[in-house]
Amino acid sequence: MTPFAKTFLVATAVAGIAAPAFAEDISFWGWRVEDVPQYEEFIDTFEAENPDINVNLRMIEAVNYGTILSTALAGEAGPDAMMVRAYGSFESVASGGYLMPLSEENVPALKDFPADALKAETLRADNTVYAIPFASQTMMVLYNKDVFSELGLEPPKTWDDMKAAAEALQEAGLYAFANGTADAWQNEVITFGLGSSTMGKAFYEDVMSGDADFTDPRFVDALARIKDMSQYFPDGFIGLDYASSQQLFATGMAGMFVGGSYEIAAMKGMNPDINIGAIPAPVVNEGDEGLVAVFYDGGYAGNAATEHKDAVLKFLNFLASKEFGQAFANELSNISPIPGVTFDNPDLEAVAELNKTSMPYMMLVNFRFDQPSGSTLVQENVQKMMAGEATPAEVGATVTEGLSKYYEPFQNN
């Protein structure tokens, strides 16, 4: 049992609270199958504070979760409380009217959440928040600290630094990067994990205002540099899948890996001894601002049709509390967006520091609401570029053309 859980159980015992004869049951669904033990502890803690409420947890495999949840909600058989995705995937559930509107009135802690976090769980049609954000993810470059130290290498800051480090890693008989591009979504990770600093915040703002599109030299230059850096990816990386890429980095066969902050816990799960460092995307010139790309990963919502509204709101307020956020960070090694949460884990602390100079993970945050989604366009066309079937300029033009089908600022360019 965690210190967090012990504290509340002891407090409850001291207060002499006894379980009522008839506790109220609420159901809670999510997709984090791998986190069941931790969520069971979180729920134990909540129930110790609220002995009149029982929370029944059901975790469903992530690949099937969205379909099962949507079907259940439409059939009036959905859970009382649930995990929901963010951005476009969130809207597909929230737009059906299935979720309980949340505000500072029924969840006071919302007033302290970062605006970008709340935006991830806000339905654009009515500008209403329907879920409590639970984690942010950071796209960046991971490196093996021990390997770098043994070779006398410093974490690279510029593209030139990164190329020099890659050469040194290869000369030492290692893969410079572990990444492959067989899984399409990895191409989006590579694009913004490696390219954000080259694109820059001004490019992001210009795209959002319509002053630039993806034919802009800043985006095309980032792709060209990424394509050039792929010479240091493993032989046959076009056919290398995600799981194999993880293995190459986790086992120390590669010095760098372009990925998300969620990789740190995953890599340590595969190799507890690996010593991982994290750096922003490389910059073109020394002194330029190094950026990571950030998005919010999901939230906790209540069923608008629940017969246990008060109990669900108590549970949601618990999930919005600083105490829960701290336990979430400590036990699940994730960045909680709840203000005041600190990170005992030095890896998380390092990621939180990187987040201070960030830009949004562009396609997920802004262009996954319509079809073709920006993510699909980037994933498919960068995959072609990496295979030598498209130039960076052609990728930029294709992405712009695809988005212009519904993104009005591009229709005027």
Under 8 Å between Cβ of 325 and 336: yes
Query: Which long-range contacts (C-beta less than 8 Å, at least 24 apart) are formed by 308-313?
Result: 308/24, 308/25, 308/26, 308/80, 309/100, 311/24, 311/26, 311/50, 311/52, 311/53, 311/80, 312/26, 312/80, 312/81, 312/100, 313/100, 313/106, 313/107
Query: How many Å apart are CA 63 and CA 119, to the nearest integer?
Result: 24
Predicted pLDDT at 21: 54
Per-residue pLDDT at 3 exceeds 80: no
Cβ count within 10 A of residue 58: 12
Cis peptide before 108 (omega within 30 of 0): no
Q: How confident is the model at residue 14 (pLDDT cuts 50, 70, 90)?
A: very low
Predicted pLDDT at 18: 46
Query: How many Å apart are CA 68 and CA 82, to the nearest integer?
Result: 12
Of 193, 207, 269, the closest CA to residue 34 belongs to 269
Q: Residue 309 belongs to what H/E stretch?
A: helix 309-319
Query: How many Å apart are CA 145 and CA 155, to the nearest integer?
Result: 8
Per-residue pLDDT at 12 exceeds 90: no
What does the pLDDT look like over 350-398, one tens digit per residue?
A: 999 999 999 999 999 999 999 999 999 999 999 999 999 999 999 999 9
Under 8 Å between Cβ of 116 and 324: no
Predicted pLDDT at 24: 95
E strand spans, 173-237: 175-177
Which residues pair with residue 177 across a beta bridge? 256
Angle between helices 242-250 and 184-209 (to 10 degrees): 100
User: Which residues have CB under 8 Å from 92's CB, separation 6+?
Assistant: 66, 70
Question: How confident is the model over 296-303, as a mean pLDDT?
Answer: 96
**DSSP string across 223-245:** HHHHHHHGGGSPTTGGG--HHHH
> Mean pLDDT of all residues in the chain?
94
What does the pLDDT look like over 22-48, one tens digit per residue?
A: 789 999 999 999 899 999 999 999 999
What does the pLDDT look like over 211-260, one tens digit per residue?
A: 999 999 999 999 999 999 999 999 999 999 999 999 999 999 999 999 99
Question: How confident is the model over 95-106, as a mean pLDDT?
Answer: 97
Q: What are phi and psi of 359, to 5 degrees?
A: -130, 160
Of 222, 245, 260, the closest CA to residue 382 belongs to 222
Under 8 Å between Cβ of 396 and 215: yes
Cβ count within 10 A of residue 411: 11
Query: How many Å apart are CA 30 and CA 21, to the nearest integer?
Result: 28
Predicted pLDDT at 339: 93
Question: How confident is the model over 286-294, as a mean pLDDT?
Answer: 97
Query: How many Å apart are CA 148 and CA 146, to the nearest integer?
Result: 5
Identity at 189, one-letter amino acid code: V
Per-residue pLDDT at 206 exceeds 60: yes
Q: How confident is the model at residue 20 (pLDDT cuts 50, 70, 90)?
A: low
Are 25-136+295-356 and 137-294+361-410 the same fold in CATH?
yes
What's the CATH fold of domain 137-294+361-410?
D-Maltodextrin-Binding Protein; domain 2 (3.40.190)
Question: How confident is the model over 257-266, as a mean pLDDT?
Answer: 94
Query: How many Å apart are CA 395 and CA 188, to the nearest integer?
Result: 12
Q: Which CATH code fits 25-136+295-356?
A: 3.40.190.10
SS3 30: strand
Per-residue pLDDT at 13 exceeds 70: no
What does the pLDDT look like over 167-181, one tens digit per residue?
A: 999 999 999 999 999
Give the Å distances, CA to CA, from 195 to 113, 137, 259, 377: 28, 16, 12, 16
Which residues pair with residue 295 across a beta bridge? 137
* Helices within 50-153 (DSSP H only): 62-74, 87-94, 115-120, 145-150
Query: How many Å apart are CA 409 and CA 413, to the nearest integer?
Result: 7
What does the pLDDT look like over 122-181, one tens digit per residue?
A: 999 999 999 999 999 999 999 999 999 999 999 999 999 999 999 999 999 999 999 999
Give the residue extent of every domain in the chain.
25-136+295-356, 137-294+361-410
Of 135, 224, 242, the closest CA to residue 187 belongs to 242
Query: Which long-range contacts (C-beta less than 8 Å, at least 24 apart) are formed by 339-348?
Result: 339/112, 339/113, 339/114, 347/264, 347/276, 347/278, 348/261, 348/264
